[in-house]
Amino acid sequence: MEKRVVFDGKILPYALLMPQLLITIIFFYWPAAQAVWQSFLIQDAFGLSTEFVWLENYAVLFANPDYYRSMLTTLVFSTLVTVFSLSLSLLLAVQADKQIKGASGYKTFLMWPYAVAPAIAGVLWLFMFQPSLGLVAQAIRALGFDWNPQLNANHAMALVVMAATWKQISYNFLFFLAGLQSIPKSVIEAAAIDGARPVRRFWTVIFPLLSPTTFFLLVVNIVYVFFDTFGIIDSVTGGGPAQGTTTLVYKVFSDGRLGGDLGGSAAQSVVLMVLVIGLTAIQFRYIERKVQY
């Protein structure tokens, strides 16, 4: 797709692109290249000499059991958040789609959590589940369950999953509702005439037609859990207890803050870059397919 009519200009287009390109190169490409370069280097403890070591940093990283634990944590966290937030928002979107009147009202009441910062969402849930004074925590403890996210890693994980799910429901809801509203009513009526009851209609007609939206949201949600939940984890658990909620991104941050191992931290960054590139590639292949469709 190209314009037929264009302007002439030798210098002007470069001048127009300059601000964006400068920022991109200085703050995106240069640091990314440095991360790649540093991941091949080992620096001595005083930062006096560096040595080129090929893939040694990666070998060390992938021999470290902590790194696998962090991978597992990320996997558990992203699976739980994605499954809960997608299914809850689909449930709500299907109900809202049934309403001829009031659908937009419901939309208003369900979409605002999108605007809440992840770190703030974390603080809200932290307060409700704070073991000694939290409202919900007290109810749980009154039932005889020893709830303590500050000591128990599973409880901490449950807490960050709830906060991250809560924050993501509004986004998924909006996209599911838009997807549902674009399904032609005639298809559903045809299924009804064939004698399919509502539940059957949902699973055999609506759900398959909704699959492009679901797939798109799946990828977006995974990216969200990987990167945007940093604020939730930092404000709720700080990666603890005993590193029970340290995701891959959180690990890059906390390992780097302790200082020292520059090469190892860079190697972690590069692994994450490869992950994002993979996810983005999937997202775009899917979008291309949708365009043809």
214-243 residues near another protein, rule: CB under 8 A? 216, 220, 226-227, 230-231, 234-235
Structure tokens at 76: 């558990």
Site for another protein in 248-287 (CB under 8 A): 249, 252-253, 256, 262, 265-266, 269, 272-273, 276-277, 280, 287
DSSP codes joined into one string, 233-282: HHHHTTT-STTTT--HHHHHHHHHHT-S-HHHHHHHHHHHHHHHHHHHHH
Applying CB under 8 A, among 63, 109, 288, 292 the residue interacting with another protein is 109
Q: Are 231 and 117 in contact (CB under 8 A)?
A: yes
Can residue 23 be called a binding residue for another protein (CB under 8 A)? yes
How many of the chain's residues bind another protein (CB under 8 A)? Answer: 100
Site for another protein in 156-185 (CB under 8 A): 166, 169-171, 174-175, 178, 185
Distance CA 255, CA 75 (A): 19
Q: Which sign does the torsion angle of CA 270, 273, 279, 281 carry?
A: negative
Structure tokens at 227: 């990167």
Residue pointed to by tokens 């059957």: 200
Distance CA 229, CA 227 (A): 6
Decide whether 86 or 262 has the Cβ nearer to another protein. 262
Can residue 113 be called a binding residue for another protein (CB under 8 A)? yes
Applying CB under 8 A, among 61, 81, 90, 92 the residue interacting with another protein is 92
Site for another protein in 27-56 (CB under 8 A): 27-32, 34-35, 38
Applying CB under 8 A, among 55, 135, 151, 242 the residue interacting with another protein is 135
Applying CB under 8 A, among 60, 83, 84, 114 the residue interacting with another protein is 114
